[in-house]
Amino acid sequence: MKIYEMTNEERIRLLVQTGYLTTKQAELLQSRRTISLDLANSLSENQIGSFSLPYGFATDFVVDGQDYLVPMVIEEPSVIAAASNAAKRIKNSGGFRTFPSSRVVYGQIVLENLTETDIETLEKKDSEIFECAQQAHPSLIKRGGGIVSLRFNRYDGFLEIELGIDTVDAMGANMVNSILEKTAHKISSLVSGDILCSILSNSGQGQVITAEAAIDFEQLKTKSMSGSEVAFRIVKLANFAKQSVKRAVTHNKGIMNGIDAVYLATGNDFRAQEAAAHSFAFESGQYQPFSEWRIKDGQLLGTLKMPIELGSVGGAISALPMAQLSLAIMKITNSKQLQSVVAAVGLANNLSALRALVTTGIQAGHMGLQSKSLAVSAGASGFEIEEVSKRLNQTKNYTIENAKNILMKLRGK
């Protein structure tokens, strides 16, 4: 039996039997009470309840030679299906390769009303400022992180002191902001000007990763199109995205479908990731796709390059039981490993979207998977959901009116 054909209980049992879940973790999933009142109150103001989204997993990911099941939180059924579909094609061709860069978060201390003498003083005391910042968070140094760079950047009416900070496995927002504020206090004692603000940057420039996958043509073929034809059409559409901003935006949205779903599952800040990613896409002056596709050595080669700004410890990641469960399922030991998996998911979703677009069209598979939620919206429950979904897929008329008519006939009304 295929995983998507199993019941929830059967999937959970399978994960326990294959060592991805412990019995205790399985009980957490089965309870469907994954956040306590105290935890909810600590994470949000004016809290009155919890808002649930489906929690599933993508299969067949082989990233840098290691197998992964990838938990994803999303209300769109085609995203997990698409990620798994592409991951299997890539697995059969050798898997994903990733090339993480350094993990550096940048922070900005912004000053105004400075004299030239003030600026000269700060530049002369750069080592003193660096050491002050380094000692602002001693536990970070113990974990192998700390300050890696200090720069002075002049703007019209402002001076920015930019600190690059290796946050190790934490996303590091609170950590970086604490370091900046302590350092700013030191700086204010050295000059007559004013500190305007001290805050991290979500640019993601110090956390850019590259992911690659080479796919055999045989893995791309459809019933009516050869694999090589599919590959060349994918390359053409990817090249079109480099020229059309409107297409590039949608191209990238498909990539973010998968990335955001893993961020939600692991308790990471998807808002920061969206900001970093789309800023990176505009670095050239024209909004560009995160990925490119070309033919190389008789294969379709996909390359994704973008910032992946995340952590594997700290904040909501450590507080949320479901985030910890997700990291356990993936057997994540550090943030670079998680960064690589997330980049692979983005590239997988991109491949599935492009392959669908240049062959059958996006709606064929999308609406086939969407039919179950359409059935529920029409009022179906229990066994009716599968039956209404089946008949919607037979008629190819995916409207709420048709779903309601099918349900009425099913109920003999």
- Which residue numbers are catalytic? 76, 253, 269, 366
Contacts 24+ apart (CB under 8 A), 370-378: 370/77, 370/78, 370/398, 371/398, 372/77, 373/77, 374/398, 374/400, 374/403, 375/403, 375/407, 377/403, 378/403, 378/404, 378/406, 378/407
State how far the Cα of 106 lies from the Cα of 70, in Å rounded to an integer: 29
Q: What tokens appear for 147 in the block?
A: 């300050």
CA nearest to 16, candidates 29, 1, 5, 34: 29
**DSSP code for 3:** G
State how far the Cα of 329 lies from the Cα of 308, in Å rounded to an integer: 20
Contacts 24+ apart (CB under 8 A), 40-47: 42/319, 43/316, 43/319
Specify whether the CB–CB gap between 350 and 344 falls below 8 A.
Answer: no
State how far the Cα of 212 lies from the Cα of 215, in Å rounded to an integer: 10
Helices (H), 244-312: 245-265, 270-281
Q: What Cα–Cα distance (Å) separates residue 318 from each residue in 34, 169, 207, 312?
A: 14, 12, 21, 8
